[in-house]
């Protein structure tokens, strides 16, 4: 695993692993869960990568770190993640559609580990991914008028990053059909998941 891979997983660990668990626990003990969530967010802000280090530390303690494919696990988890921290809670229809489309893209990407060596299913997933990317970008373009001036530039920059990683994903798929290297596809798909999360966070921050 390269340093770049670890930076990616460090960025994904809190929103992709811990926050969805805490959201489930919140139904049982809301007050304790809020305190725990605040502590994780503070720790991650002060020490970026804290959550990832915790997760890998648990795997090492259990002596299973070498048997866990982090890239595949992160990608699979993305498809089950409907955490409200990655959504904009609003009655505005355009924002509801944006939420749905971001979740849908991640669900489609999460199918890749199961379908990558089934050519027909994988080609369908690639088509679905391309369509989901276009629809998400359409939704982002459609909400610019809801964003105040100073934040529009931030959103435009984040959208450009999303497009760049989308193109990287497309190029990685071309390479996969030449060399059959699945890990590169998993990694590129995870980058796209992460960029989707960052895009949603940028919109959420702009509207708060």
Q: Is the pLDDT of residue 75 over 90?
A: yes
Q: What pLDDT shows up at residue 12?
A: 93
Lowest mean pLDDT among 54-68, 103-117, 152-166: 54-68
Phi, psi (rounded to 5 degrees) for 165: -70, -30
pLDDT: is 81 or 105 the higher one? 105
- Residue 54 has which token pair? 């915790």
Summarised one tens digit per residue, pLDDT across range 10-66 is: 999 999 999 888 988 888 888 999 999 999 999 999 999 999 999 999 999 888 888
For the chain, the average pLDDT equals 92
Q: Strand, helix or coil at 108?
A: helix
Lowest mean pLDDT among 92-101, 130-139, 144-153: 144-153
Instruction: Name residue, tokens 């590129």.
Output: 188
Q: pTM score, two decimals?
A: 0.91
For 139, other C-beta atoms within 10 Å of its C-beta total: 19
Q: Is the pLDDT of residue 3 over 80?
A: no
- Residue 98 has which token pair? 């944006």
Q: What pLDDT shows up at residue 4?
A: 64
- Residue 25 has which token pair? 């626990």
pLDDT: is 85 or 197 the higher one? 197
**Rounded Cα gap, residues 100 and 12, in angstroms:** 20
Lowest mean pLDDT among 8-17, 46-55, 83-92, 164-173: 83-92
- Residue 166 has which token pair? 């989308």
Share of the chain above pLDDT 70, in %: 98
């Amino acid at each position: 695993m390269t340093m770049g891979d670890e930076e990616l997983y460090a960025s994904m660990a809190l929103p992709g692993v811990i926050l969805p668990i805490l959201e489930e626990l919140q139904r049982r003990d809301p007050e304790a869960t809020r305190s725990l969530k605040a502590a994780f967010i503070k720790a991650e802000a002060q020490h970026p990568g804290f959550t990832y280090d915790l997760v890998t530390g648990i795997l090492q303690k259990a002596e299973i770190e070498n048997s866990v494919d982090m890239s595949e696990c992160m990608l699979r988890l993305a498809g089950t993640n409907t955490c409200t921290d990655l959504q904009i809670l609003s009655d505005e229809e355009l924002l509801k559609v944006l939420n749905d489309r971001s979740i849908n893209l991640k669900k489609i990407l999460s199918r890749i580990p199961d379908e990558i060596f089934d050519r027909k299913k994988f080609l369908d997933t690639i088509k679905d991914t391309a369509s989901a990317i276009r629809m998400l970008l359409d939704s982002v373009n459609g909400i610019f008028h809801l964003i105040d001036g100073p934040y529009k530039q931030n959103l435009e920059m984040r959208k450009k990053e999303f497009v760049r990683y989308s193109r990287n994903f497309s190029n990685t798929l071309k390479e996969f059909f030449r060399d059959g290297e699945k890990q590169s596809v998993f990694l590129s798909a995870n980058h796209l998941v992460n960029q989707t999360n960052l895009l949603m966070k940028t919109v959420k921050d702009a509207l708060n």
